[in-house]
């Protein structure tokens, strides 16, 4: 895979992508701090860039606004799973 061959470069590109993509959603959140979709999309971008901690913070903020949001719960579980926290992922999926 290309990611393995150019690992550092790929990580740098992902971080740049998050900055560019994130500006859109940060602007939305600045205008409407209760926009669950903006938190969700920004969290997904951070998770894809390997920034699980930031993704978890964003998902947690969004869940305070909409605790039953299936997309948030699913992505929260996904981040736990990808971080190797399988029990936490299972708990998240089963007991939102």
Low-confidence winner among 19-23, 32-36, 66-70 (lowest mean pLDDT):
19-23
pLDDT surpassing 90 at residue 78: yes
Are the C-beta atoms of 88 and 80 separated by less than 8 Å? yes
Q: How far, in Å, CA of 79 to CA of 27, rounded?
A: 24
Number of domains in the chain: 1
Range of the domain at 65: 7-94
What's the CATH code of the domain at 28?
A: 1.25.40.10
Can you give the pTM of this predicted structure?
A: 0.80
Answer yes or no: is 28 within a domain: yes
Averaged confidence pLDDT in the chain: 87
pLDDT of residue 2: 54
Answer yes or no: is 2 within a domain: no
pLDDT of residue 83: 94
Answer yes or no: is 31 within a domain: yes
Answer yes or no: is 67 within a domain: yes
């Amino acid at each position: 895979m290309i990611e393995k061959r150019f690992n550092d470069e790929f990580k740098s590109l992902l971080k740049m992508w998050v900055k560019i993509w994130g500006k859109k959603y940060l602007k939305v959140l600045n205008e409407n701090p209760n926009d669950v979709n903006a938190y969700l999309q920004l969290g997904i971008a951070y998770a894809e860039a390997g920034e699980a901690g930031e993704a978890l913070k964003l998902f947690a903020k969004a869940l305070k606004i909409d605790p039953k949001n299936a997309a948030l719960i699913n992505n929260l579980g996904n981040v736990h799973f990808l971080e190797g926290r399988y029990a936490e992922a299972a708990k998240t999926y089963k007991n939102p």
